[in-house]
Amino acid sequence: MSHTTGAGDPRPAAEPGHDGFDAAFALADEVEGWLTRDQARALWDAAAALPPGAHVVEIGSHRGRSTVVLARALARSGGRLTAVDAFVEGPRYGGAATRDVLTANLERAGVAAVVDVVPSRSQDLRARWSAPVDLLWVDGKHDYWTCSDDLRWTEHLPLHGRCLVHDAFSSIGVTTSLLVHVLPSRRLRLTGRVGSLALLEVAPPTAADRRRFVAQLPWWVRNVFLKVLLRLRLGGVARRLGHVGPFDPY
């Protein structure tokens, strides 16, 4: 798992006991999803570093794998999590049944009281949103247009506020959105990545930040090529290129 970090990327040590990351991920790992342990740790660290009473927005909750991690971190300091998901009907997303699974998973993890589940498209909620946001987690629909709109939620973050984006430098739509809206940005900078999770900060980017972004592009091209191989059922070729398992690189 490739893991790069930059300045301003707090990494407090794992806390022992029931309220620590290990316990949170043990609960989250029972939930179906693609968030890796390293990526869950990045979410935990970002949420745990927030001041008491912080407010986090999650775009794309699905069954709640990341929701559990964020909520467990926030529960320690009286924080709140707004979980936004359209719960689209159909076999791929599951509709209302998926929302029921999410609710059950939050109850099982003991964090239902910390999370406000909002069944809405993120752009519709953003259009009427006015409250400040302390941390943003973007894992919604992965096309260019949706991700581009989701990045507009960063307007509610404070200076040095953090935005974490899943499937960056893996998904064509997400990466293209970052290329257009982050690489040339004057207010968002890439501080690093954890696998396909991009770490962004609201701050004027430096030349080093832009170079860091460009340095991720060969990894993106590799991942897209691996996805093509997997779609063509050429897993053997993918393995020879270092890819492990039948699933897309995350």
Given this model, what pLDDT does residue 90 score?
72
Q: What is the distance between the alpha carbons of residues 30 and 24, in angstroms, rounded to a whole number?
A: 10
Q: What is the 3-state secondary structure (H, E, C) of the chain?
A: CCEECCCCCCCCCCCCCCCCHHHHHHHHCCCCCCCCHHHHHHHHHHHHCCCCCCEEEEECCCCCHHHHHHHHHHHCCCCEEEEEECCCCCCCCCCHHHHHHHHHHHHHCCCHHHEEEEECCHHHHHHCCCCCCCEEEECCCCCHHHHHHHHHHHHHCCCCCEEEECCCCCCHHHHHHHHHHCCCCCCEEEEEEECCEEEEEECCCCHHHHHHHHHCHHHHHHHHHHHHHHHCCCHHHHHHCCCCCCCCCC
pTM over 0.85: yes
Given this model, what pLDDT does residue 239 score?
78
Q: What is the distance between the alpha carbons of residues 204 and 220, in angstroms, rounded to a whole number?
A: 24
pLDDT in tens, the chain (250 residues): 334 444 333 333 333 333 599 999 999 999 999 999 999 999 999 999 999 999 999 999 999 999 999 999 999 999 999 999 999 887 766 788 999 999 999 999 999 999 999 999 999 999 999 999 999 999 999 999 999 999 999 999 999 999 999 999 999 999 999 999 999 999 999 999 999 999 999 999 999 999 999 999 999 998 888 878 777 786 786 677 777 777 667 6
Q: What are phi and psi of 190, to 5 degrees?
A: -85, 125
Q: What is the distance between the alpha carbons of residues 123 and 159, in angstroms, rounded to a whole number?
A: 22
The second-level CATH assignment, the architecture, of 3-215 is: 3-Layer(aba) Sandwich (3.40)
CA 3 remoteness from chain centre: 15
Q: What is the distance between the alpha carbons of residues 165 and 192, in angstroms, rounded to a whole number?
A: 11
User: What is the number of other CB atoms lying within 10 angstroms of the CB of residue 154?
Assistant: 21
Q: Residue 192's closest CA among 172, 170, 208, 180?
A: 208
Look up residue 133 and give its amino acid.
V
Given this model, what pLDDT does residue 245 score?
74
Given this model, what pLDDT does residue 211 score?
97
| Interior/surface letters 130-149, b for 16+ CB within 10 angstroms, e for the rest | eeebbbbbbbbbbebebbbb
Can you read off the two tokens belonging to residue 192? 């690093």
Q: In the chain, where are the structural domains located? A: 3-215, 226-250
**Positive or negative, the Cα torsion across 38, 93, 106, 125?**
positive
Q: What is the distance between the alpha carbons of residues 223 and 170, in angstroms, rounded to a whole number?
A: 6
Q: Angle, to 10 degrees, between the axis of helix 21-28 and the axis of helix 65-75?
A: 150
